[in-house]
C-alpha cells in the first residue's frame, strides 16, 4: 500500500464514504456494490472503485464490498484507529461547540486541554477538561505531547500562537481563524474558513437569481 501521490480530491471524498458505510452498517447492510453505493451517494461507480483502489483491493468480483470490512479499512486509512491528543485554543462559542462534540472521542481525538484569555473562564470544565489560561499554553504543550491544536481565536492572534505551538512540537493545526498560517511544510494544516463558505453560498444564490432573470427575459 503506497499512499504517496494520492490527490486531495480523493482524500476529501474518503470521509464521506466512511459516513455512508457507517450508516449502512447501522442499518445492518452486509454487502454493497459500487453501483448501489454510487446511487445513494450520487457519484459514479467508476469513481468509487478508482478511489478505493488507490489504497487496495477491498472488494470481490461478483460480490461487491463487505460493508463492515470496508468501513474498518477506510477508518484505518483515515487514521481513526490511532489516538490523537488535541487541544483547543479559544473557548468562545465555537471552541466550546467543538469541545462538546461527542463523536470526537469515539474517533480517537482525545481532548487534552482548552485555553482562553478570559480569566472568568479559568477552571470551568468542558467534558471534564478545565479551561486554562493562555500563559500556561506553552509549557502545557511541551509537557503533554499534543499532536493537534484547534485554533478558534481571532486572526490577529492566530498566526503567532500557531508559530509558538509548532515550535513546541504541535504537528497539526485545525484552523478556524480567518487567515492563512504559512507554517513549515511538515506541519499539517486544515483550514475551516466559515466566512468563505458562506460567500460561496451567497455567490450561488446570486448566480441562480441572475439565471432566473435571464430566463424571464427570453
Q: Which of 1, 9, 102, 103 binds DNA (CB under 7 A)?
A: 9
User: Whole-number minimum distance, CB 64 to DNA, in Å?
Assistant: 4
Closest to its own copies by CB, 82 vs 135, is 82
Binding to its own copies, residues 151-190 (CB under 8 A): 171-172, 174, 178, 186, 188, 190
Residue 87: φ, ψ to 5°: -125, 155
* Binding-site annotation: residue ranges for NAD(+): 90-95
Out of DNA, its own copies, none, which partner does residue 96 contact, by CB within 5 to 8 A per kind?
its own copies
Q: Which of 30, 105, 136, 211 binds its own copies (CB under 8 A)?
A: 211
Distance CA 174, CA 188 (A): 8
Distance CA 98, CA 111 (A): 10
The stretch among 62-70, 126-134, 171-179, 188-196 that binds DNA (CB under 7 A) is 62-70
Out of DNA, its own copies, none, which partner does residue 34 contact, by CB within 5 to 8 A per kind?
DNA
CB 59 within 8 A of CB 52: yes
Out of DNA, its own copies, none, which partner does residue 201 contact, by CB within 5 to 8 A per kind?
its own copies
CB 193 within 8 A of CB 151: no
User: Whole-number minimum distance, CB 92 to its own copies, in Å?
Assistant: 7
Give the footprint of DNA on this chain (CB under 7 A): 7, 9-10, 32-35, 43-47, 49-50, 52-53, 57-65
Give the footprint of its own copies on this chain (CB under 8 A): 3-4, 6, 8, 11-12, 14-16, 18-19, 77-80, 82, 84, 92-94, 96-98, 100-101, 103, 107-109, 147-148, 171-172, 174, 178, 186, 188, 190, 192-208, 210-211
Amino acid at each position: 500500500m503506497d499512499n504517496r501521490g494520492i490527490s486531495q480530491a480523493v482524500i476529501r471524498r474518503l470521509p464521506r464514504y466512511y459516513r455512508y458505510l457507517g450508516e449502512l452498517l447501522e442499518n445492518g447492510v452486509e454487502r454493497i456494490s459500487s453501483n448501489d453505493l454510487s446511487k445513494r451517494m450520487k457519484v459514479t461507480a467508476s469513481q468509487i472503485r478508482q478511489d478505493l483502489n488507490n489504497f487496495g483491493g477491498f472488494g470481490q468480483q461478483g460480490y461487491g464490498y463487505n460493508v463492515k470490512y470496508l468501513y474498518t479499512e477506510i477508518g484505518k486509512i483515515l487514521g481513526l484507529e490511532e489516538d490523537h491528543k488535541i487541544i483547543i485554543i479559544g473557548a468562545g462559542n465555537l471552541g466550546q461547540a467543538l469541545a462538546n462534540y461527542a463523536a470526537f472521542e469515539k474517533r480517537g481525538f482525545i481532548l487534552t486541554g482548552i485555553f482562553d484569555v478570559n480569566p472568568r473562564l479559568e477552571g470551568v470544565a468542558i467534558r471534564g477538561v478545565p479551561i486554562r489560561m493562555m500563559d500556561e499554553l506553552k509549557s502545557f504543550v511541551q509537557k503533554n505531547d499534543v499532536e493537534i491544536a484547534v485554533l478558534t481565536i481571532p486572526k490577529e492572534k492566530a498566526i503567532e500562537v500557531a508559530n509558538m505551538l509548532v515550535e513546541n512540537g504541535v504537528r497539526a493545526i485545525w484552523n478556524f481563524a480567518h487567515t492563512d498560517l504559512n507554517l513549515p511544510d511538515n506541519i499539517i494544516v486544515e483550514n475551516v474558513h466559515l466566512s468563505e463558505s458562506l460567500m460561496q453560498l451567497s455567490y450561488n444564490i446570486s448566480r441562480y437569481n441572475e439565471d432566473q432573470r435571464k430566463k424571464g427575459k427570453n
